[in-house]
Each structure stands twice: as C-alpha cells, then as structure tokens.
Amino acid sequence: MTLLSVEDLTVTIGETPVVADVSFALERGERVALIGESGSGKSVTALSLIGLLPEEADAHGRIEFEGRDLLRLGERDRCRLRGDRIGMIFQEPMTALNPTMRVGRQVAEVLRLHRGCSATEADSRTLELLERVEFHEPKRIARAFPHELSGGQRQRILVAAAIACSPVLVLADEPTTALDVTVQAQVLRLLVRLVAEEDAALVLISHDLAVVSGMCEQLLVMYRGRIVERGATAEVLERPRHPYTRGLIATAAALDGAERGSVLPTIADYVEVGT
C-alpha cells in the first residue's frame, strides 16, 4: 500500500495560484527531493501535507496518507498526525523552537502529547533521543535554552523532536540552509541514518543539488508551482530534459567553479520567466 499519494494538489492564496496540479506518490522507506528556486512552491507543497498553510490559502485535490485524505481531515485529526505519524523539520530552528523553554522540555512535550508519557517517562526518553542525535552530554543539552546552543545543535534538537514518536513520514524543509558546510554534512548524515533506522519515508526540500544527489533516490523539479520534471535522481541530474532543470544544474555548476568577476548563467538563460 502506498504511504503517501498526492493527486492534483492546487493551492491558491487569494486569486494567485502558488501550486498547480502537483501529483506524486511515496512508499515507506523511500526518499524523494523537491528542488527548485525560491518561490517555486516547494514549501507550500510540504505545508499542505501537514495542514499548516496560512488561513488565506485554499487547497484542492487529494493528499492520501495511510488511506485518509489529509485535506478533508478536521484540525484535531491533523494535530494527532503532526509530530506522531508525520515528523517535520523546519528550516530555521530559532523560529521553530520556543525561546522561553528548555529544549529538553520541548522534545518531551511531543512524547507527552502523542504517546501519553508521564513526565518522568518523557524526560527519560528525551535523553535517549538526544543521544541518538549525537549529543554526548544529553542532560546538559536538555537543560539549555535555544539561544545557548549553536545552529547545528538546534537543528539536531528539531531532528530529535521529529523522530520522537517514530514517524513513518518525515518532511525536511531546507534543514541545513543556515549551517556551514561541515555542520551541514553532519546533520544530513544524521538525518539519513535516523530515517533509515525508522524505515520512514523522507520528503526533502532543497535547492542544493549536491545534497539531493547524496540523499534521495527520486527527484521532483518544481517551477512556478508545477512539477516540470521527475525521475531517478541520478538520471535527472545527468540527463535533464526540461530547460528549467538544465538551467538549475548549469547555474549550480557555474557557482561551484566561478572565478571572481565572471558572469554567471541565470535561469532565464534557459527558460522564459513568464512560461
């Protein structure tokens, strides 16, 4: 049975369509990446899956998860899924974490809410989770406030909260954008390992082609709210068919090897912006 099936998802904000006719499916244990420039509809697609669109947004289509259409669930049922069957890792941990609460308590709250753990059980399980995300002093980290931790440490707290209830689907929205290259690699390696241990599916939103190529088997390329290319990651990156995909790859390659003062290609060099 397919874990997640998205059919003809369309999201409008006011009169403006921001996602149009998006369809894809995901099996348990599969890892798929959504790539595209800012504003292409990647994050809106992910937020649609967990019912966290802004109030002014209107979503149509079908999002079937474990046999239920998420677009037709009430808010209480959506809340039961978020953090339990579906884990979410947001882009900016300082926004996602409560600055007034110790991080251990924030992880423990997920367990108390979705697993009915007592305070003692939740605290014990939280320390185990902090060890799983490679903290060597979990008790000290649990007592810390978000501002007392580094960016990489805060992102690992979000990973711990996302996997706390052993979800079958994890959504990761640009999870390492604000981190330096070394810390980014550590967090991504950790995320891949934990998702594999849970046999969970992963939807990774990213603009980084190097990250995508090393993490996901399938690739969906989004442009102006639509999926314009899809397929096995290696095949899409090595033999892109759509002009927009070719533009993304060429721009990334140029950035990697650019000399000071050189003129870089733009997406508009490959595809008309108005199309």
pLDDT in tens, the chain (275 residues): 789 999 999 999 988 899 999 999 999 999 999 999 888 999 999 999 999 998 899 999 999 999 999 999 998 999 999 999 999 998 888 889 999 999 999 999 999 999 999 999 999 999 999 999 999 999 999 999 999 999 999 999 999 999 999 999 999 998 887 778 788 888 888 999 999 999 999 999 988 888 888 889 999 999 999 999 999 999 999 999 999 998 888 887 765 654 444 555 566 666 665 55
Query: Residues near 241 by Cβ (< 8 Å), separated by ≥ 6?
Result: 229
Radius of gyration of the chain measured on its C-alpha atoms: 19
Which of 170, 189, 166, 192 minimizes the C-alpha distance to 179?
189
Residue 272: predicted pLDDT: 64
The span from the CA of 63 to the CA of 212, in Å, is: 24
Model pLDDT, residue 150: 93
* Phi then psi dihedrals of residue 175, to 5 deg: -70, -10
- How many Cβ atoms sit within 10 Å of the Cβ of residue 15? 5
pTM over 0.85: yes
Q: What is the DSSP string of 28-89?
A: TT-EEEEE-STTSSHHHHHHHHTT---TTEEEEEEEEETTEEGGGS-HHHHHHHBTTTEEEE
Q: Give the bridge partners for 169, in sequence order.
A: 86, 201
Model pLDDT for residues 73-122, shown as the tens digit of each residue = 998 999 999 999 999 998 888 889 999 999 999 999 999 999 999 999 99
Q: What is the dihedral of CA 126, 132, 138, 142, to 10 degrees?
A: -40
So what's the pLDDT on residue 206? 87
